[in-house]
């Protein structure tokens, strides 16, 4: 396991500057996708609108089965 970790650490240390910039952009995009979007756009409406799991399940079943 230590060899694998050392392999990746050495690989990232020896990257050229343009590659580090690209990795920074990739990590920033992932942060935006998984944290910012989750907080602002994908809020848990079922938990907010219904008290119990049974109510949530019934609502989902109604939404799926009604045309």
What 8-state DSSP symbol labels residue 14? T
CA distance 46 to 59: 9
Beta strands in the chain (DSSP E): none
What's the pLDDT at 16? 93
Are the C-beta atoms of residues 50 and 56 closer than 8 Å to each other? Answer: yes
**Domain locations in the chain as residue ranges:** 2-65
pLDDT tens by residue, 46-67: 888 899 999 999 999 999 998 7
Q: Which tens digits make up the pLDDT trace of 20-41? A: 999 999 999 999 988 888 888 8
Per-residue CA distances from 60 to 14, 44, 57 (Å): 51, 13, 5
pTM above 0.75, yes or no: no
């Amino acid at each position: 396991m230590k060899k694998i970790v050392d392999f990746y650490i050495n690989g990232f240390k020896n990257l050229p500057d343009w590659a580090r910039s690209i990795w920074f952009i990739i990590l920033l995009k992932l942060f935006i996708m998984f944290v910012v979007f989750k907080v602002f756009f994908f809020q848990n409406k079922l938990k907010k609108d219904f008290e119990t799991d049974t109510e949530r399940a019934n609502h989902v079943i109604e939404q799926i089965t009604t045309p």
